[in-house]
Amino acid sequence: MKNNIRFLVLYPVSILYFLLLVGCCQHKPNAIYRIGVSQCSDDAWRKKMNEEMEQELIFHPNLQLSIRHANDNSELQCAQIDSFITEQVDLLIICPNEAEEVKPAVSRAYDAGIPVIIADRQVTGEKYTAFIGGDNYAVGQHMAIWLIQQATLHHSTAKQPLYVIEIMGLQGSTPCIWRHKGLIDGLKDQSNIRLLGSGNANWLAAPARVVADSLLRLYPQTNAIVAQNDIMAIAAAEVVEKLAYAREIYKVNASPITILGTDAMTGDGNGVEAILQGKINASVTYASRGDLVIQSAAKILQGEPFLRDTVLPIMLVDRNTAETMHLMSREIEHNIASIKALQQRIKLLWDMSKMQRNLLYTTVGCLVMVLCLLIGLWWEYRYRRRIRAERAEHARVIAKQQEQLEAITAELEQTKVQQSQDELFMQHLQKQIEKHLNNSQLNVEMLSELLGVSRTQLFRKTKALTGISPIELIRHVRLRKAQQMLRKTDATIQEVAYEVGFTSASYFTKCYKEFFGINPSVEQHGT
């Protein structure tokens, strides 16, 4: 029974305890949230934003990102958003390629109950949870401010208006629309600035070369180019250089063409480097701030208050600012590298501590199990020892009882033998007395000879079996026989006395009276 208890309780409890310990080691403090990121493109600006988001995850270990980019294709982006909906991600971050084309997929996600953060480019309608991005109208206005500065310089030397061409991004995207609007509004009432023409180059270098080439050939008097991003501005700069070399332009206007881009990103091949290298003249910042996007996502997912619309500030970057930015960016890059190294180190230490903690828990669990096992074994050992002792005691009692039984049986046997011997002896004795009853000489000596035993033996045995001596026994037998004769025959007292071995009738009478309490004459037949 106790054995069963051990198996039923002790072992399962210890195993449960061990599993619980292991379970605790694996326990994650916060729920894991899966975030889908739908990027419209995969250029340097997008890569920077993705990197900023990834880096921010250090502070949000419970967030997981899955990034997909749509290659500037709205249809593909809609399909990707739909697959995120099917995968039931916890939140979506969407940078829509085109406002109208991507809107239905965004609405589907929003209607499916998935929080949607729109970043950078916008969608039409109100079906989104939060927006984070630059003020594109302000970008256009900053372009106009820069052109006004250029026009003033240009007019003071050339005494002519500033002729401008514009290279725009993707037609249906909101930055393209709002930057253009900001520019137009900013140039209103600027009589010495003429916007000669605009063309869409979809934010890409190759189309920008085509657009720049055709606009410059169409308007060779151009003094300034504004491009809605640095990629297109740098592409336009290459075209300007090529045409200038071929003296295709400057036939009408010999002054150099100044170029303004947008984004002002530091790093190889980007706007700030291009300004420092003299490829373009200025740029307007357009921050990506992936870190802010993730912070907002975390707030939404954890049910904390968040800003619905976050509009990022912008600024103009000329050569001087570009130099400062370049130096600062190198500092920042250095710091980021240190942070990354630290991050690696922290991860390593964290992994190690996790491993050690798991090891500790496992060791403690194992020790508890071993302890339980030892207790179980000790328990069993004690149980078995007790059972063994009980069995031995039982066997001892049984053996003793057996012994007693055997002794009793032997005694019984002995008694039986003795009884039968005594019976035989008594029969023999009785027979001999009766046989020699009329012999007055019958005494102890004769009787012992007749029975073949010593006088002492005869005395002891007769006394033990009858309670009286042999001599008394002979007398009793004589008297009983006499009584029978007196009652059944007509013999006289004297005849009876002689017949039973008395030599004198008076002595017989005396003995008879002593034995029976009456005179023998009272017994006589017929009286």
Site of interaction with ligand FRU (CB under 6 A): 41, 43, 45-46, 120-121, 169, 173, 175, 203, 229, 231, 262-263, 286
Q: Which is nearer to ligand FRU, 204 or 368 (CB)?
A: 204
Q: How far is the CB of 67 from ligand FRU (least distance, A)?
A: 14
CB of residue 358 to ligand FRU, shortest distance in Å: 44
Compute the distance between CA of residue 257 and CA of residue 341 in angstroms, rounded to an integer. Answer: 44
In the complex with ligand FRU, the residue whose CB is nearer, 136 or 296, is: 136
Other C-beta atoms lying within 10 Å of the C-beta of residue 463: 14
Distance CA 163, CA 337 (A): 44
CA angle, residues 161, 165, 171, in degrees to nearest 5: 145
Contact 426, 465 (CB under 8 A): yes
Q: CA angle, corner 342, sides to 341 and 343, nearest 5?
A: 90
Nearer to ligand FRU, 189 or 268 (CB): 268
Instruction: Give the residue with the Cβ less far from ligand FRU, 162 or 287.
Output: 287
Facing residues of 282 across strands? 260
Q: Which of 99, 111, 119, 117 is nearest to 178 (CA)?
A: 99
Closer residue to ligand FRU, CB minimum distance, 270 or 462: 270
Cβ 197 to ligand FRU shortest distance, Å? 21
Q: How far is the CB of 133 from ligand FRU (least distance, A)?
A: 8
Helix, strand and coil in the chain, % to nearest 5: 65, 10, 25
- Give 375-410 as a DSSP string: HHHHHHHHHHHHHHHHHHHHHHHHHHHHHHHHHHHH
Rounded least distance, CB 279 to ligand FRU, Å: 16
Least separation in angstroms between CB 305 and ligand FRU: 28
Q: How far is the CB of 79 from ligand FRU (least distance, A)?
A: 19
Tell me the helices (H) and strands (E) count for the chain, helix number first.
18, 12
Task: Considering the complex, state which of residue 175 and residue 207 has its C-beta at the smaller distance from ligand FRU.
Answer: 175
- Closest CB to ligand FRU: residue number: 229
Q: Are 36 and 91 in contact (CB under 8 A)?
A: yes
Q: Which of 168, 298 has the CB closer to ligand FRU? A: 168
Single-letter amino acid code for the residue at 498? Y
The candidate with the shortest Cα–Cα distance to 425, out of 475, 381, 459, is 459
- In the complex with ligand FRU, the residue whose CB is nearer, 63 or 275, is 275
CA distance 486 to 525: 6
Shortest approach of ligand FRU to residue 134 CB, angstroms? 8
Among residues 140 and 520, whose Cβ is nearest to ligand FRU? Answer: 140
Residue 40 Cβ, how far from ligand FRU at the closest point, in Å? Answer: 7
440 burial via Cβ count (<10 Å: 0-12, 13-18, 19+): middle
Please return the burial class of 252, using the count of CB atoms within 10 Å of its CB with bins 0-12, 13-18 and 19+.
exposed
Question: Are 139 and 163 in contact, with CB atoms under 8 Å apart?
Answer: no
